[in-house]
Amino acid sequence: MLLGHYIGRVGEKGRVALPASFRRVLGKQVVVARWYEKCLTVVAQEEWEKLVGGLGQQRLVAAGRDTDRFLLSGAFEIELDEQGRFVVPQALREYANLEDEVVFAGVGVRVELWDRRAWEEYQKGLVERAPEMIEELAGENG
């Protein structure tokens, strides 16, 4: 399971280094893709296939087709180098506004890659909404 978060930097040519603890779980073959809330996701190749394969019948409706377009057209297969580095494609850097400092956040089976300022702002909102979120989830399950 991917847990925790780490600060990194985007190099001149858009290169970042995936933290070692995440590399051990994900391996060398990953998919980097657009994700929600203007961040990117980094997942192992097999997890990506499970994720998009699970859309199944949903692809028949407009929202399913739009989800395919959003996720699949913004996805790139990447091979990490020996130090776990990779170049984030320009289109993805622009989408997530990755320019200088970034945050790699472990979220279960995937890593989210955020602009550091956007991450910090988003975290403030999460902390404020946390009590409401747990109440909402408890209401759905209880």
Residue-wise pLDDT for 102-139, tens only, equals: 999 999 999 999 999 999 999 999 999 999 989 988 88
* Residue 141: pLDDT band with limits 50, 70, 90: low
Domain range for 77:
5-141
Asked whether 77 and 33 are in contact (CB, 8 A), the reply is: no
The CATH number that applies at residue 122 is 3.40.1550.20
Q: Which residue has the tokens 């997942």?
A: 43
Q: State how many domains the chain has.
A: 1
pTM: 0.90
Of 94, 112, 92, nearest to 102 by C-alpha is 112
Quote the CA–CA distance of 18 and 9 in Å, as a whole number: 10
